[in-house]
Every structure is written in C-alpha cells, then in structure tokens.
Structure 1
Amino acid sequence: MPTLFRFLFICGTIVGLVYLTLWSFAVFVEPRERDVTVRIPSERINPVEQ
C-alpha cells in the first residue's frame, strides 16, 4: 500500500501545481489591448458575376 499512497501523493502534487499555475496566470497576467484590422478582399464583398 505505500506505493499506492506515494503514487496518489505525486499525482495530487502535480495536479495542485498545474492548478496553482493556471490560477496565477488568471490573476496576475493582464492582457494587452490592441486594435485588430482584418482586410477583406473586394471580391468577397462584391462577387463578380460571370
């Protein structure tokens, strides 16, 4: 049984570290705002009829 406990402890530690990392990214990292420009070719807006 000690190996099962060790395995579960290691899995729990890894899950906890991943959770802590995701939480710290969500709380401490602020995204930069910027304008986004998407160019649309005129052929897509006004298709040429053949």
Structure 2
Amino acid sequence: MPTLFRFLLVVAVLAALGFAAVFSLATMVDPDPREISTPIPGHRLPSPSSR
C-alpha cells in the first residue's frame, strides 16, 4: 500500500504543478491585441448582378 500512496502523491503534486503553471500563465501574461485582416479572393465574392 505505501507504493500506491506514494504514486498518488506524485500524481497529485504533478497535477498541482500543472495547475499552478496554467493559472500563472492565465493571470500574469497579458496578450497584446492586434488587428487581423485576411484578404478574400474576388471569385468568392457575390457578383453585383445577383443581389
């Protein structure tokens, strides 16, 4: 039984470290917003006569 408890303890510590890493990235890192533009090919636009 001690090996099972040791395994569960290691898994719990690794999960806590992963959660702490994700939480710190979500709270401390602030992405800079920027505008995104994607060109659309002319053949994908509807023709003026179909309106």
Q: Following the alignment from structure 2 to structure 1, what is the Cα–Cα distance between the partners of residues 30 and 19?
A: 18
Unpaired segments ≥5 residues, structure 1:
none
TM-score normalised to the size of structure 2? 0.86
Distance 1:2 1:35 in 2: 56
Deviant stretches of 4+, over 4 Å: none
Summarize deviations over 1:24-47 as a string: whole Å, max 9, x none.
011000011111011000100036
- Give the gaps of 5 or more residues in structure 2: none
For 1:26 and 1:46, how far apart are their aligned partners in 2? Answer: 42
CA RMSD of aligned residues (A): 1.0
- Alignment-derived partner of residue 31 in structure 2: 31
Aligned pairs, how many? 47
TM-score, length-scaled by structure 1: 0.87
